[in-house]
Amino acid sequence: MSVLITGSGGLLGSKLAEILSERGYIIYSGYYSNKPLRGIPINLDVSSEESVREAFKISRPEVVVHAAALTNVDKCEIDKELAWNTNVVGTRNIAKASEEYNALLIYISTDYIFKGDKGMYKEEDKPEPINYYGLTKLKGEEEVKSLVSNYLIARASVIYGAMPASGKTNFALWIIENLKRGEKIKVVVDQWNSPTLNTSLAEMISEAIERKITGTYHLAGATRISRYDFAKQLAKTFDLREDLIMPVSSDEISWTARRPKDSSLDVSKALKTFHNKPLNIKDAMEKLREEIDGKAGPIL
Ligand SMILES: NC(=O)c1ccc[n+]([C@@H]2O[C@H](COP(=O)([O-])OP(=O)(O)OC[C@H]3O[C@@H](n4cnc5c(N)ncnc54)[C@H](OP(=O)(O)O)[C@@H]3O)[C@@H](O)[C@H]2O)c1
């Protein structure tokens, strides 16, 4: 089966390309600037209809996983045109082409479509984004729903993994790297979400492809946790110094874009449907540890 992955050099896309390649899928790895390690590389700018059309002509996909996005939340707030073109126009272009090719489209969305005033959001709760990134991702969901017959919208939350991707670190690696160096870090105590290990999300997406699961699902970690407690738990798992983690309030951090206070996701629908269940934080961190220990990785 031929699968086109957009953003295949990214944190999720790279893991998904790895897992699906090992399972014998023919993977076309759409990349923008960072060349992917797995799959057949196709240079792709999702914001260009012509570039998308060309990628589909080459790959003729039966399944498309649309993981490409402008994911830097502050950059989206500053450069709204780029955010709109990448996340909304880009998704529209991918959605149109997926429908034309009769492909199943899996769109990766986010907990940031929610306001963050109550937490443990269910799939049917009303989206109300409070920053531009969240707005563009929500508009992307709307494009998918209106243009594609066969789709899965998979909402994740703070994705982390064992390797840097797309030339950048991730929240878990940033914590580990700093604590390893003996450096103090400030982590907010008053923001909660459902951190999602990229491997776990990729396994769930792989299952969705195999079983043709469609609709909207929260495919995230199964534990609601604050950023601060996540950092503490990570330090415990990796035998690192917890005393280097300084608790701060989000008011003390000057971000350009507002962040939802509690955008944690209720994953009970996924728990019922998927054989690969969303992982609780302890199991996810153990898996992360195995992955990092199993690699002569660049950070440890
Ligand atoms: N990271 C999170 O915490 C998080 C949480 C919830 C949901 N999500 C969603 O999950 C998906 C995957 O996130 P991620 O963390 O894997 O993202 P990531 O590591 O930032 O990767 C995003 C990818 O998008 C590509 N891209 C950017 N602009 C593009 C364009 N115009 N055309 C084609 N590709 C373009 C980038 O390519 P280059 O590197 O080549 O430039 C990169 O590979 C995204 O849709 C994101 O919104 C992420």
Higher pLDDT, 253 or 275: 275
Reported confidence tier of residue 299, pLDDT bands at 50, 70, 90: very low
Q: How far is the CA of 67 from the centre of ligand 1 (A)?
A: 6
Q: Phi and psi (nearest 5°) for 13? A: -55, -40
Q: Which atom of ligand 1 is nearest to the CA of 85?
A: 31
| pLDDT in the model for residue 127 | 98
Q: Which pLDDT does position 29 carry in this prediction? A: 98
The response to whether residue 59 sits with its C-beta less than 6 Å from ligand 1 reads: no
- Using the predicted structure, report yes or no on whether residue 296 has a pLDDT greater than 70: no
- How do residues 168-194 score in pLDDT, each as one tens digit? 999 999 999 999 999 999 999 999 999
Query: Does pLDDT of 300 surpass 80?
Result: no
Atom of ligand 1 nearest to the CA of 51: 32
pLDDT tens per residue across span 111-165: 999 999 999 999 999 999 999 999 999 999 999 999 999 999 999 999 999 999 9
Q: Does pLDDT of 298 surpass 80?
A: no
The tens digit of pLDDT for each residue in 89-104 reads 999 999 999 999 999 9
Domain annotation for the chain: domains and CATH numbers: 2-159+194-224+263-280 (3.40.50.720)
Ligand 1 contact via 36 beta carbon (within 6 Å) = no
Residue 28: pLDDT over 50: yes
**What phi and psi, each to the nearest 5 degrees, are found at residue 156?**
-115, 180
Residues of the chain with pLDDT > 90: what percent? Answer: 95
pLDDT averaged over every residue in the chain: 96
Instruction: Assess whether the C-beta atom of 68 lies below 6 angstroms from ligand 1.
Output: yes
The CA 8 to ligand 1 mean position distance, Å, reads 8
Q: Provide φ and ψ at 107, rounded to 5°.
A: -105, 125
Nearest residue (by CA) to ligand 1, atom 3, is: 158
CA distance 218 to 211: 17
Ligand 1 touching residue 154 (CB < 6 A): no
Residue to substitute in 19, 71, 74 for testing ligand 1 pocket (most ligand atoms within 8 angstroms of CB):
71
Are the beta carbons of 160 and 288 closer than 8 angstroms? yes
Can you spell out the DSSP letters for the chain?
-EEEEETTTSHHHHHHHHHHHHTT-EEEEEESSS--SSSEEEE--TT-HHHHHHHHHHH--SEEEE------HHHHHH-HHHHIIIIIIHHHHHHHHHHHTT-EEEEEEEGGGS--SS-SB-TTSPP--SSHHHHHHHHHHHHHHHH-SSEEEEEE-SEE-SS-BTTB--HHHHHHHHHHTT--EEEESS-EE--EEHHHHHHHHHHHHHHT--EEEE-S-S--EEHHHHHHHHHHHTT--GGGEEEE-GGGS--SS---SB--B--HHHHHH-SSPPPPHHHHHHHHHHHHHTTT-S--
Asked if pLDDT for residue 35 goes beyond 90, the answer is: no
Q: For position 292, what pLDDT does the model report?
A: 95
Q: Is the pTM of this model over 0.85?
A: yes
First-last CA distance in the chain? 37
Of the chain, the percentage scoring pLDDT greater than 70 comes to 98
Atom of ligand 1 nearest to the CA of 9: 43
pLDDT digit string (tens) for 200-248?
999 999 999 999 999 999 999 999 999 999 999 999 999 999 999 999 9
Cα–Cα distance, 193 to 10 (Å, whole number): 21
Q: How confident is the model over 62-76, as pLDDT tens digits?
A: 999 999 999 999 999
Q: 108 in ligand 1 pocket by Cβ < 6 Å?
A: yes
Task: Say if residues 243 and 224 touch (Cβ distance below 8 Å).
Answer: no
Quick one: pLDDT at residue 294? 87
Average pLDDT of the segment spanning 41-65: 98
For residue 205 and ligand 1, the question of a CB distance below 6 A is answered with no
Number of C-beta neighbours around residue 15 at 10 A: 27
CA 151 → CA 99, 107, 173, 176, 224, distances in Å?
10, 8, 32, 36, 27
Q: How far apart are CA 287 and CA 202, in angstroms?
A: 13
Distance CA 65, CA 105 (A): 6
